[in-house]
Amino acid sequence: MTTIAHRDADALALRLDEARRDYAGLKDRGLKLDLTRGKPSPEQLDLSAELLTLPGGRYTALDGTDCRNYGAPSDGLRELRDIFAPVLQVPVDQLLAVGNSSLELMHDCLVHALLGELPGAEGRWADQRVAFLCPVPGYDRHFALCARFGIDMIPVPMTDGGPDMGVVEDLVRSDARIKGIWCVPKYSNPDGTCYSDETVRRLSAMETAAPDFRIFWDNAYAVHHLDGEAEVGDILAACREAGHPDRAFVFGSTSKITFAGAGVAFFGSSPANVAWWRANSGKRTIGPDKVNQLRHALFLKDTDGLRAHMRRHRGILAPKFAAVDRVFSEQLGDTGLATWTRPKGGYFVALRVPDGCARQVVRLAAEAGIAVTPAGATHPHGNDPDDRVIRIGPTYPTLEELEQIAYGITVCVRLAGYERLTAQR
């Protein structure tokens, strides 16, 4: 990434001086800004304000269920599953609306596979040494789940079309300990990558040494477009056609559609896996919060209503992502110090700084009053071996704050980058 200018000692010294001056100026601003997590902004939450008035005295679902009471349907309300089945690419009879958090469902899948037997398994995972493939950079909470349950994590590099499938295929073919892979197939966290058709095909068709291998298909950003409307292949159909019908677990939620943490989560899979889920979750809960599901169904109305709602989110978010790109381009464009993603959807931008600088950038930003996600969070055990990737979540701050944050980060990148180049001379 180093440009000619950096090989010239005088030019480098000049740039380092400038960066030091700008950093001192940044500290003088006395900022107190937070960019640590990808949360919807209050303005986005206001888009769903009507939810707080719903179901407005109504309590019967379309099938006549009294949502106030215990009882069927334990799979969740049909009218809500109908809305999400097309976007999550799961046949509605195989899609359950349960709980308020998809992460919780991923957690439960792991727990049930550890404590009981998955369809096709030769034993409980708790009795074996288990490993998961972790495409990197990836989502820290996936890695935290593995760490929590003593599941070994094997990093796999991401490419422009998803995980490097050559590496994935070689590993799963030869190592029966590898029981799963984490996938965020659309607008991945944090790179914004969309899995190619080729990746979906190879994931579904590959030979795995473990008979109970599962793809944890976390489709958290299925409808969260910023530019265009990307399509990703249908993993359940691909697995079925490849003769591995039970290979994929599909997850989704309304956390970044309606209210984060107060929405509805979804689990979809093959009929055998759904039966396995029902048998396990039936012990854990008498049923989901049907009143919240009714409220969501009334609010979103249908799949077109959901898409229209997401266009309103896009109206708020697209200018924020554009602002980050603009400030980064203005301040870093000709430095050769950084590259960053321009995602067409999702919640994050991945900023890549010179090797060995990410932690220093985050430290400098913190000292200047800008809290950024810890460097390394995008890798298992918080360890980015190149110390290069920083996750930027532009959604929560106001546009004005975001411009300050983005500028502040570029100052820290210049300071850390030029200091390192100077030290390396």
Q: Provide the binding-site residues for ligand PMP, judged by CB under 6 A.
A: 38, 101-103, 139, 184, 189, 218, 220, 253, 255, 261, 265
How is 164-231 classified by DSSP, letter by letter? -HHHHHHHHHH-TTEEEEEE--SS-TTT-----HHHHHHHHH---SSTT-EEEEE-TTTT-BSSS---
Pick between residue 129 and residue 284 the one whose CB is nearest to ligand PMP: 284
Pick between residue 125 and residue 139 the one whose CB is nearest to ligand PMP: 139
CB of 36 to ligand PMP, least distance (A): 12
Pick between residue 81 and residue 244 the one whose CB is nearest to ligand PMP: 81
| DSSP 8-state assignment for residue 54 | -
Length of the chain: 425
Place of tokens 């404590």: 115
Residue 182 to residue 238: CA distance in whole angstroms: 17
Residue 195 to residue 270: CA distance in whole angstroms: 21
Residue 47 to residue 313: CA distance in whole angstroms: 8
| DSSP 8-state assignment for residue 160 | T
Which amino acid belongs to residue 7? R
Q: How far apart are the first and last CA of the chain?
A: 15
CB of 80 to ligand PMP, least distance (A): 15
H/E run at residue 290: helix 290-300
CB of 103 to ligand PMP, least distance (A): 3
Pick between residue 253 and residue 378 the one whose CB is nearest to ligand PMP: 253
| DSSP 8-state assignment for residue 43 | H
Pick between residue 321 and residue 418 the one whose CB is nearest to ligand PMP: 321
Measured from each CB, the residue nearest to ligand PMP is 253
Pick between residue 101 and residue 335 the one whose CB is nearest to ligand PMP: 101
CA atoms 182, 99, 222, 103: torsion sign: negative
* Other Cβ atoms closer than 10 A to 211: 13
Pick between residue 257 and residue 405 the one whose CB is nearest to ligand PMP: 257
CB of 220 to ligand PMP, least distance (A): 4
CB of 99 to ligand PMP, least distance (A): 9
Pick between residue 208 and residue 255 the one whose CB is nearest to ligand PMP: 255
CB of 101 to ligand PMP, least distance (A): 3
Give the three-class secondary structure for 84: helix
CB of 202 to ligand PMP, least distance (A): 21
Residue 37 to residue 53: CA distance in whole angstroms: 28
Residue 17 buriedness (CB in 10 A; 0-12 / 13-18 / 19+): exposed
CB of 344 to ligand PMP, least distance (A): 16
